Amino acid sequence: MLHILQDSPFQTDLESLLRCLKQGDEVLLLQDAVIAGLSGTRALDLLLAAPISVYALQEDIEARGLTAQISTGIGKVSYTDFVRLTVKHEQQITW
């Protein structure tokens, strides 16, 4: 399943999202959710500890001036990659 997180981790029930994740799921961080990919944050630690892959939209990272602060454990994807993820996962949920 693809989990799409749009809001800042400070405005999202991240613990609920984490409880819903299953091995092999993927999380895509969009808009203000890219903040969850910042190195050294609790949100990043929680996401990386889960048995999932985590991606962030490159354009949203750049728009917020966070390129240098995003963890290398987060995959950076383009809009084309975003479409590929949605095609890959028949089931999706937006948080």
Q: Are the C-beta atoms of residues 26 and 52 closer than 8 Å to each other?
A: yes
Q: What is the mean pLDDT of residues 10-35?
A: 94
pLDDT tens string 33-70: 999 999 999 999 999 999 999 999 999 999 999 999 99
Q: Are the C-beta atoms of residues 27 and 52 closer than 8 Å to each other?
A: yes
Residue 47 has what pLDDT?
A: 95
Residue 85 has what pLDDT?
A: 96
Residue 56 has what pLDDT?
A: 98
H helices within 1-95, ranges in order?
14-20, 42-49, 58-63, 79-88
Residue 6 has what pLDDT?
A: 95
Taking alpha carbons only, the member of 75, 72, 33 closest to residue 54 is 75
Domains of the chain as residue ranges with CATH: 2-94 (3.40.1260.10)
